[in-house]
Structure 1
Amino acid sequence: MTRDDGRVASGAADTAVSPETNGQRAEAAGLSRRLALLLMGGAALAACSPMSRPSGGGALLPPPTGPAVSGEVLGTGTVRVALLLPKTAPGNGAALAAAMQNAAALGLNDFSGNDLTVLVKDTHGTAEGAAEAARQAISEGAELIIGPIFAAEVGGVGPVARAASVPVIAFSSDPSVAASGVYILGFLVDGQVRRVVAEAARSGRKSIAAIMSQSAFGNLAEAALRQEAGRYGMRVVAVERFAAGGEAQSVAAVAANAAQIDCILLPEGAGVAPNIARSLRSAGVDLTRIKLLGTGVWNDPTVYGDPSLVGGWFPSPEISGFSAFASRYRSTYGGEPPLTASLAYDAVVLAAGLAKTAGAQRFQLSVITNPEGFLSAVNGLFRFNAFGTNDRGLAIYEVTGSTPSLVSAAPRAFTGA
């Protein structure tokens, strides 16, 4: 999973209050319910019927109406949306862009009867390139911008899109770049921490410690931990932060308080969490009594089979959804999709669903930020908040040494929406 670091977005779990009338909210709620069926239906169609191979490279022909289009397009519908990707960025940016364009094409193909034309624009992996890509897409009639991926790119796009009143659904997981009209679809660490801490509290655990990096990611995780622990009356015994290579001191501090601890949050990924778990055991911490808690970065085959993390819990969209998506992706393109590619699939299917069900309202704030949210066959329940972040309905899994075991299913609706 890719991760953008950023600042804490407060209140991400709360339902946003918007200025729309009750009638507008009720109409948006009805659209959301219809769209949930469409989002689910696209994947069912893909799984059950023959599928022509979508072209991730796109066509070079413009759609039949509207301003002239330059560059690649996907689809031939009347509703234009942009897809901003770092197609010529250095490092792994170009490879990630290719996978996400493939996933977007797959989503467009899966949504039968869609009315979209997707204008694919290269950001070059920079804020300046992303801003120029957004300007070009808007001049060519884009009503919605999907992407870009990286936080700096989103920062470049935001002012351009807001000036033109064009909403953005970006792939970043950095809440610092979210804002009204700039919505981030990435997997946010604060929601993951809240979900797994809440599950631990509901299972009867009363106290918690944490070991996490000295980083912006760690700041987000710590803030969410303290918020959710306070909500459930859990005692936070210790929060130990470490610099790279400095885990030993944090492990020793937590081990010294082990008798007071019911669970330990380790939000780090496969390169760090197993080493910390082994060090805790070596320090005499009984991890058969104390439950290890992870985040979505544990949704990784490397973690699944690691004996040091067996018994630990982590939050994730239900794994079966991504597995089915990955199978279709492999059969179509012959490669393994990164988890982030599924966001491009979801965003394009969402745009197609809004275009089909919401008419002229399709990309209005009251529709995009509907508190009932949307239901994807790949990543499950999600919604956007008025200030640009998202909430997700996540499952809880247990590491078993092989296939993770489902502890708690993902919700199918937001309570209190």
Structure 2
Amino acid sequence: MNANGEIAARRAVSAPRTEGFGRAARGVLAGLATLALAACTTPFAGGDSPFAAAPSAPAGERIGEGSVAVAMLLPLTGAGQGQAAAEDMRDAARLALSEFNTPDIQLTVYDTAGTPEGARAAAQAALAQGAELMIGPLFAGSVQAAGQVAQSSNVPVLAFSTDATVATRGVYLMGFLPQPEVARVVDYAAQNGRRAVAALIPQTTYGNVVEAQFRETAARRGVRVVQVERYPAGQPQQAVARIAGVAAGAAPQVDALFIPESPQGLVAVSAALQAAGFDPSRVKPLGTGLWNEPSVMSLAALQGGWYAAPEQSGFQSFASRYAQAFDEQPIRIASLAYDAVSLAAALNRTQGTQRFSEPVLTNRSGFAGVDGVFRFRPDGLNDRALAVYEVRGGGASVVSPAPRALPDA
């Protein structure tokens, strides 16, 4: 997946509402390395935000004057959508430090220029200045390059990529990974009596990842996979015609149809399914977090469908505070930067010299962030507590709330 594709996939979440959020406390939960990030209003209401006149952050800009050095690696001069994303994530980091009560963190932002070479140089500069933790980079190639530098000095990395191939011991992914979304929605379908499923999956890297997880979860839950059809991106018509025999008509042979497609691709898929006689009231559509986009909610073939994604209340509160501080809405993944910096500050406060050690970062109880409970696995991947939504009448509602704790298994 290229850089712009990685950004586009991660923007697929409904635009946040920003009205009506009250003040709440935030603090650190009791227990080993468990972080609580509760909603709170901006501390700058009623006056000019101190962020308003701040200059654009150059590479190596220091944010905070604490004693513990943490680096953030972002493509501030990268091409395409990466630069805009980086600016929002940098500002989210600044917001996190401003809202944390006297964090003892010295955060330095380094520019990767959106390239592996730039990420490698940024990581080397961060190590030279004593960084104990690296947050970022954003794209897979840059994560791999920076991770190699960080690992040579046993410095952990909290990266924003969604590419599972760059995760490894010591390089932990903060991003919204497709695997937990697939597992959650298939689990929920099985719990609700769906025992025979088919799938329409695009021939993309994302499609390869979600197909593997789909088959694994279905096998684990005893769900029969009747048919899987792959199709060139944007051209689902022939695949729909092939799968219509089991998923359409008066007597379909399956009771669910998995469609892990982007909002743009779902337009063509929905039209082809309608033309083939697909009835979503007979065969339940299933999707991933890519569905979490307003344009998807009115597609006829997806009505009544289920998909898994983070609950929105935490992000909506974060977005409200961000908008008050910076006078604009944040990109969806800005919450990852906020959570990463808040986590660094909380672990520094509660875990002493072991603050960024592997046992602390991979604590199975996990952490509670803007997007719900999450934890890092020893292999660098993450688990997230996700909600299941149902598409209905131009919107989506939660039919299964995100759990407040992650399972042991």
- 1:57-206 alignment to 2 at 5 Å? 71-206=60-195
Partners of 1:58 and 1:72 within 8 A in 2? no
The equivalent residue for 2:49 is 53
Moved more, 244-253 or 290-299: 244-253
Q: Deviation string for 1:315-350 (max 9, x for gaps)? A: 111111111111212222122211111111111111
**What SS does structure 1 have at the residue aligned with 2:405?**
coil
Task: Decide whether aligned partners of structure 1 residues 190 and 286 sit closer, same or farther in structure 2, where only a CA change above 3 A counts.
Answer: same
Partner in structure 2 of residue 304 of structure 1: 297
1:236-247 correspondence to structure 2 within 5 Å: 236-247=225-236
Residues 293 and 324 of structure 1: CA distance in aligned 2, closer, same or farther (over 3 Å) = same
Structure 2: state its 5+ residue gaps. Answer: 8-27
Matched residue type, 1:47: T
C-alpha separation between the residues in 1 aligned to 2:336 and 2:326?
17
Deviation at 1:232, TM superposition (A): 1.1
Task: Find the residue that maps to 2:364 and give its secondary structure.
Answer: coil
Q: Map 1:320-399 onto structure 2 (within 5 A).
A: 320-376=313-369, 378-399=370-391
Q: Distance in 2 between matches of 1:350 and 1:57?
A: 27
Match for residue 405 of structure 1 among 394, 397, 402: 397
* Deviation by residue 1:27-48 (Cα, 9 ceiling, x = unmatched): xxx9873653x432xx33x338
Question: Could you tell me the TM-score, scaled by structure 1's length?
Answer: 0.86
Kindly provide the amino acid, as one letter, of the partner of residue 72 in structure 2: L
Task: Give SS of 1:272's match.
Answer: helix
**Given that residues 86 and 122 in structure 1 are in contact (C-alpha distance below 8 angstroms), is that contact kept between their aligned partners in structure 2?**
yes
Q: In structure 1, give the amino acid aligned to 2:147.
A: G
Query: Partners of 1:361 and 1:388 in 2: how far apart?
Result: 18
Is the partner of 1:172 in helix, strand or coil? coil
Aligned 8 A contact 1:312 1:399 in 2: yes
Equivalent residue number for residue 292 of structure 1: 285
- The answer to whether residue 253 in structure 2 is matched with residue 260 in structure 1 is yes
Higher mean C-alpha deviation, range 154-163 or range 236-245: 236-245
Range 254-263 or range 122-131, more displaced: 254-263
Q: Structure 1 pair 117/304, CA: closer, same or farther in 2 (3 Å)?
A: farther
Q: Secondary structure at the match of 1:108?
A: helix
Aligned to 1:13: none
SS across alignment from 1:253 = helix
Name the SS for the 1:83 alignment partner.
strand
Letter in 1 for 2:131: A
Distance 2:50 2:309 in 1: 28
Q: Distance in 2 between the 1:88 and 1:138 partners?
A: 21
Contact map agreement 1:2 1:340 (CA 8 A) in 2? no
Deviations 1:196-226 (A, max 9, x none): 0010000001111111111111111000010
Whole-Å Cα distance in 2 between the matches of residues 60 and 89 of structure 1?
14
Native 8 Å contact 1:60 1:73 kept in 2:
no
Q: Is the 8 A contact 1:397 1:407 kept in 2?
A: yes
Separation (CA, whole Å) in 2 of partners of 1:54 and 1:229: 51
Deviations 1:224-273 (A, max 9, x none): 01001001111101111111343111111111112111111111111012
How far apart, in 1, do the equivalents of 2:107 and 2:54 lie?
Answer: 9
Shift of 1:306: 3.8
How far the C-alpha of 1:278 sits from its partner, in A, is 2.6
User: Are the structure 2 counterparts of residues 35 and 192 from structure 1 closer, same or farther at C-alpha, using a change threshold of 3 Å?
Assistant: same
Counterpart amino acid of 1:153? S
Aligned residue pair count: 381
Are the counterparts in 2 of residues 32 and 374 from structure 1 also a CA contact under 8 Å? no
1:32–1:367 Cα contact (<8 Å) kept: no
CA displacement at 1:387 relative to structure 2: 0.8
Deviates more, 1:272-281 or 1:88-97: 272-281
Structure 1 residue matching 2:31: 3-state secondary structure = helix
Verify the 8 A CA contact 1:56 1:101 in the aligned structure 2: no
Partner amino acid, structure 2, of 1:266: I
Of the three residues 258, 280, 305, the one matched with 2:273 is 280
Instruction: Judge conservation of contact 1:197–1:229 (CA < 8 Å) in 2.
Output: yes
Aligned CA-pair RMSD: 2.4
Q: Provide the secondary structure at the position in 2 that maps to 1:404.
A: strand
For the 8 Å contact 2:235–2:268, the answer to whether it is kept is: no
Map Cα deviations across residues 115-168 of structure 1 (whole Å, 9 max, x no partner).
111100000000010010011011111100000000010011011000111100
Aligned to 2:12: none
Aligned to 2:18: none
Q: Is the 8 A contact 2:280 2:303 kept in 1?
A: no
Offset of residue 55 of structure 1: 3.4
Q: Any conservation in 1 of the 2:52–2:325 contact (CA below 8 Å)?
A: no
1:213-232 matches, within 5 Å, as 213-232=202-221
Counterpart code for 1:416 = D
Equivalent pair of 1:207/1:235 in contact (CA under 8 Å): yes
Aligned partner of residue 137 in structure 2, secondary structure: coil
Q: Distance in 1 between matches of 2:270 and 2:202?
A: 14
Identity of aligned residues (%): 46
